[in-house]
């Protein structure tokens, strides 16, 4: 077992996304006294300290003090991100996403094994059902968080997580139905006649999942190139302006950006504007990580915009004006 000299991190454990494997890897690395869990009131996996301070006393300030005093490495559980986000820097918040239909089917089968069985049509419309992954992250920009792993790309995700958070977690393969599905080949099938309804319910979550895959691709490319990764994204792009955020993990120097229009450099920017929503996520620089540029001449149909980190070339976003 390694010594615990790592800053604490939060794991938002979305059900049926290989989270049990990750939490077991953390337990192996840090021991039971180095990990705290919140799986709900009365759940046997919820640790005593969390039950007392979070659920009974509802005193998150005291919980944070105790986590720091006892050098707890990880807090994890089936909890929405906002529950514990105030206790952790944005760059030390981790979650995993899974292909939405596979996650939904697997979660339904798990609930039916462990609890009172429910018909799929009823389950998919419940809070535990379709869209759960997106709801647990509550529209927080994925690019602002420490690591968003992909269940189907677990080994790559773990490599990024270890590099980003200074960990040495080892792969685990746990909590699988013994018959059994794999993360890439689910055992379960969609009930007949449900495809159209499920597609509608999962549309937003599928977009989120695709975004998370692109983000992982970007992080792997930067990691393989031996360059520093900047958290950031283009949040808005219109004919008049482009805006977004960017920051280095746990650093105070601002990120320098290059903005291109139709592949030609337009301006260099520093991400220094205060953004309240990033401050609430405990982003570095007290949330002073935003950027904005208003075009002297509005974008025309077919014009393209590209924003990249000047130091590394890492792409934060690109956009093209629709043709008339």
Lowest average pLDDT, out of 176-180, 230-234, 264-268, goes to: 176-180
Where residue 185 falls (left for φ over 0; alpha for ψ -120 to 50; beta otherwise) is beta
| pLDDT band for position 1 (cuts 50, 70, 90) | very low
| pLDDT band for position 164 (cuts 50, 70, 90) | very high
Tell me the pLDDT tens digit for each residue of 73-85: 999 999 999 999 9
Query: Domain 230-320: which topology?
Result: Immunoglobulin-like (2.60.40)
Where residue 226 falls (left for φ over 0; alpha for ψ -120 to 50; beta otherwise) is left
DSSP for 157-181, written as a single string: HHHHHHHHHT--------S--TT--
Q: What is the mean pLDDT of residues 52-61?
A: 97
Beta bridge partners of residue 230, listed in sequence order: 248
Q: What is the mean pLDDT of residues 129-142?
A: 93
Where residue 42 falls (left for φ over 0; alpha for ψ -120 to 50; beta otherwise) is left
At residue 3, the pLDDT reads 55
Checking if the pLDDT of 179 tops 60, the result is no
Token pair 């924003």: residue: 307
Please, are residues 67 and 80 in contact by the beta-carbon 8 Å criterion?
Answer: no
Checking if the pLDDT of 6 tops 60, the result is yes
Mean pLDDT for all residues in the chain: 92
At residue 45, the pLDDT reads 95
Q: CA 59 to CA 78: how far, in whole Å?
A: 19
DSSP state of 51: I
Q: CA 211 to CA 206: how far, in whole Å?
A: 9
Checking if the pLDDT of 176 tops 60, the result is no
| pLDDT band for position 195 (cuts 50, 70, 90) | confident
At residue 2, the pLDDT reads 45
Sheet containing 288-294: give its strands across: 230-237, 241-248, 288-294, 273-274
Q: In terms of CATH architecture, what is 9-224?
A: 3-Layer(aba) Sandwich (3.40)
Q: What is the mean pLDDT of residues 229-248?
A: 97
DSSP state of 13: -
Checking if the pLDDT of 65 tops 50, the result is yes
For the chain, give every domain's residue range. Answer: 9-224, 230-320
At residue 193, the pLDDT reads 79
Checking if the pLDDT of 298 tops 60, the result is yes
Its pTM surpasses 0.85: yes
Checking if the pLDDT of 213 tops 90, the result is yes
Q: What is the mean pLDDT of residues 50-70?
A: 95
Q: What is the mean pLDDT of residues 96-116?
A: 93
Checking if the pLDDT of 174 tops 60, the result is no
Q: CA 144 to CA 316: how far, in whole Å?
A: 12
């Amino acid at each position: 077992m390694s010594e615990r000299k790592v800053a604490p991190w939060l794991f938002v454990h979305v059900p049926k996304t290989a989270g049990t494997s990750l939490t077991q890897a953390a337990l192996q690395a840090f021991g039971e006294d180095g990990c705290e869990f919140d799986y709900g009131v009365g759940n046997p996996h919820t640790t005593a300290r969390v039950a007392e301070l979070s659920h009974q006393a509802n005193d998150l300030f005291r919980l944070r003090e105790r986590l720091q005093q006892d050098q707890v490495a990880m807090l994890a559980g089936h909890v929405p991100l906002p529950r514990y986000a105030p206790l952790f820097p944005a760059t030390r918040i981790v979650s995993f996403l899974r292909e939405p239909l596979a996650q939904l089917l697997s979660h339904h089968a798990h609930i039916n094994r462990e609890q009172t069985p429910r018909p799929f049509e009823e389950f998919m419309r419940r809070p535990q059902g379709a869209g759960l992954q997106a709801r647990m992250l509550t529209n927080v920009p994925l690019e602002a968080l420490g690591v968003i792993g992909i269940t189907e790309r677990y080994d790559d995700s773990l490599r990024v997580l270890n590099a980003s958070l200074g960990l040495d977690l080892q792969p685990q393969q746990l909590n699988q139905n013994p018959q059994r599905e794999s993360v890439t080949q689910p055992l379960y099938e969609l009930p007949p006649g449900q495809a159209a309804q499920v597609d509608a319910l999962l549309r937003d979550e599928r977009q989120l999942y695709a975004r998370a895959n692109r983000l992982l691709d970007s992080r792997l490319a930067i990691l393989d190139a031996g360059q520093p990764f900047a958290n950031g994204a283009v949040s808005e792009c219109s004919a008049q302006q482009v805006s977004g955020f960017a920051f280095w993990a746990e650093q105070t120097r601002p990120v320098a950006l290059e903005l291109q229009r139709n592949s030609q450099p337009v301006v260099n920017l520093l991400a220094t504007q205060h953004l309240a929503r990033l401050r609430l996520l405990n982003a570095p620089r007290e949330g002073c990580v935003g950027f904005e540029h208003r075009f002297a001449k509005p974008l025309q149909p077919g014009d393209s915009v590209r924003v990249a980190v000047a130091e590394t070339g890492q792409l934060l976003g690109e956009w093209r004006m629709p043709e008339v």
